[in-house]
Amino acid sequence: MTTLNDELASVAAALSRSTVQIQDRRFGGGSGVIWQADGVIITNAHVVRSDRPTVKLADNRVLDAVCTNRDRLQDLAVLKVDATDLPAAPIGDSDTLRVGQLVFAVGNPLGITNALTTGIIHAVSPKKQPGTWIQVDIRLNAGNSGGALADTQGKVIGINTAIAGGLGLAIPSNIVERFLRRGTVKPYLGVTLQPVAIGRRYRRRLGLLILAVQAGSLAESAGLLTGDVLTGVAGRGFTDISDLAEALWQFSPGDLLQLNLIRAGKSAIAQIQIPDKSGAVAA
């Protein structure tokens, strides 16, 4: 038991070193996680509403930060401080999480610095797009927002974001990683869609009928036309109307997205080149 206690205390101490206090002079503050040793910090968008908050490290240094990216839809923000060799948190794979798994939350709730609470994973959404949550049976309070949700090895597997129905909600770490890779690029196809049933009478499947294509969009550049029916991505058929959005949110800059479709009754494929960070224009 002593060995177990020592191990858990060591994990807690390491997580605390990678957790920061964020102060937004006009709007309050919360917590953040040192994601990269070169000064990249992840937090919630609702924690930093201004572009220049301050960050207090575990060693009591107070640094000016710049918000380099903020996405209110995902409730994520990236801060950059002028520092190197920071104690970055190890990042885990949120796709491997299991219901019932023991987890830790570290943050700065109610004015308490680097408080730690424990709980278990209650549920994990099967989707991997904005609105995907890790639901945790754990005690969180105001100030925990933007802090780490970690496994028993001290690997960060989520960013604590909200409380709903007595459960903590965290953004999975893999979604955070995709958010960082994309930068300010927005995964927007640029089409108006309507769900339709396609196929034979007893083998119906879901299709997405294109009602309109926005000028200058990724869809137009890929040659998609009004009247096309999208049927899947990379050979995998749609089973839910959110499948296309999920596929788009999983892209990385430079990826090639293959859309399966039906045009004039015949199967076809459209190739969409996801823009890189420098050449992307969000539609």
Marked catalytic residue, from 145, 173, 228, 243: 145
Query: Which of these, 192, 190, 191, 178, lies nearest to 253 by C-alpha position?
Result: 178
Task: Tell me, yes or no, if 75 is annotated catalytic.
Answer: yes
Q: What angle do CA 57, 73, 237 make, to 5 degrees?
A: 125
63, β-bridge pairs: 55
Q: For residue 69, which amino acid is it?
A: N
Q: Classify residue 72 by its DSSP letter.
A: T
Q: What is the CA radius of gyration of the chain?
A: 21
d(CA 108, CA 116): 9
Task: Tell me, yes or no, if 122 is annotated catalytic.
Answer: no
Torsion of CA 49, 55, 56, 57, to 10 degrees: 130
Marked catalytic residue, from 31, 46, 94, 173: 46
Marked catalytic residue, from 75, 151, 228, 243: 75
Tell me which residues are annotated as active site: 46, 75, 145
